[in-house]
């Protein structure tokens, strides 16, 4: 079930290369932060997020909601097997380096293994 959710998040985030609109609610920004982390993306700065196409002013409270969601998603992403993440094609941009020093090497080893 967790893998299916992560796959869905990857698909949604893959479509996020275009300008996006996020409702200016704390719930929407928390969800967006969680999706970003589950996709293996690095946390965006408040400046970058404020530049996104959105339906109102980007406040400090919205950024805090994004950070809270990102923390939840990061915990889930970094709690998975790095080997399985690599074999599943999930990207790795170093978001677990501060919480699991072996994640990167396990991920890289899996990427260099042949199927």
Tell me the residue range of the domain where 60 lies.
2-12+23-112
**Number of domains observed in the structure of the chain:** 1
Exposed, middle or buried: residue 103 (CB in 10 Å: 0-12, 13-18, 19+)? buried
The larger pLDDT score, comparing residue 88 to residue 4, is at: 88
| Within a domain: 17 | no
Q: How confident is the model at residue 2 (pLDDT cuts 50, 70, 90)?
A: low
| Within a domain: 63 | yes
| Within a domain: 18 | no
pLDDT at 45 over 70: yes
Task: For the chain, state the CA radius of gyration.
Answer: 15
- What whole-number distance in Å separates Cα of residue 32 and Cα of residue 26? 10
String of DSSP letters for 62-96:
HHHHHHHHHHHHHHHHHHS-HHHHHHTT----STT
| pLDDT tens digits, 57-100 | 889 999 999 999 999 999 999 999 999 999 988 889 999 999 99
pLDDT attached to residue 110: 92
Q: Which of 106, 109, 112 is nearest to 82 (CA)?
A: 106
pTM of the model: 0.77
| Within a domain: 88 | yes
Both tokens of residue 92?
């790795």
First-to-last C-alpha distance (Å) of the chain: 24
pLDDT attached to residue 57: 86
């Amino acid at each position: 079930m967790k893998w299916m959710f992560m796959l869905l998040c990857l698909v949604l985030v893959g479509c996020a290369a275009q300008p996006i609109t996020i409702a200016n609610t704390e719930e929407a920004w928390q969800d967006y932060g969680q999706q970003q982390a589950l996709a293996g993306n690095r946390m965006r700065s408040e400046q970058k997020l404020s530049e996104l196409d959105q339906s109102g002013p980007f406040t400090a409270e919205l950024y805090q909601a994004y950070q809270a969601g990102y923390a939840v998603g990061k915990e889930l992403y970094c709690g998975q097997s790095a080997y399985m993440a690599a074999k599943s094609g999930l990207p790795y941009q170093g978001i677990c380096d501060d919480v699991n020093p072996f994640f990167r090497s396990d991920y890289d080893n899996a990427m260099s293994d042949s199927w």
